[in-house]
Amino acid sequence: MKIKNQSLAVKRARAGLGLFTLKRIPANRRIVEYTGKLINKEERKKSLGRYLFEIDENRFIDGSARSNLARYINHSCEANSKGYADGNRIWIWSLRAIEAGEEITLDYCQEYFDEFIKSGNCKCEKCASL
């Protein structure tokens, strides 16, 4: 499976499918928007989805649609990007320069890590080399 835009591609990664950059991304640059349906706290409680991105304690984006390129960003304990809320939107920004061909990663936060990834099953580069 390969999904592409001009500078990003979904390809096989250590943790399944991942989002990779085809061009170098400088530090502190907006990479991609995390898109999906805006849901509230009550809808989030009922949801079984893993692609929920928190805007604040009452608003979340359900990014489960495959058209959401940012849903393919995998967790890393040493992430190279971070999500920032802007109104009802989430933008993924580079924390450092990300080289062409490199996987884009996020730190999913402790709650998600504990619930879905669990200690010892993290497949990020840092943990895989331990």
Nearest to residue 56, comparing CAs of 35, 41, 36, 42? 41
CB 8 within 8 A of CB 26: no
**How crowded is residue 45: how many other Cβ atoms within 10 Å of its Cβ?**
8
Position 97 pLDDT exceeds 90: yes
Please give the pLDDT value at position 113: 62
pLDDT digits (tens, 9 = 90+) for 5-64: 689 999 999 888 999 999 999 999 999 999 999 999 999 988 878 899 999 999 999 999
Please give the pLDDT value at position 109: 74
Please give the pLDDT value at position 1: 46
| Alpha carbons 59 and 37: distance in angstroms, whole number | 10
**Which pair of tokens denotes residue 38?**
């805006």
The predicted model gives 88-107 an average pLDDT of 97
Sketch out the chain's domains with CATH numbers: 3-119 (2.170.270.10)
**Which pair of tokens denotes residue 67?**
């058209």
Please give the pLDDT value at position 130: 54
Position 108 pLDDT exceeds 90: no
Phi, psi of 96 (to 5 degrees): -150, 175
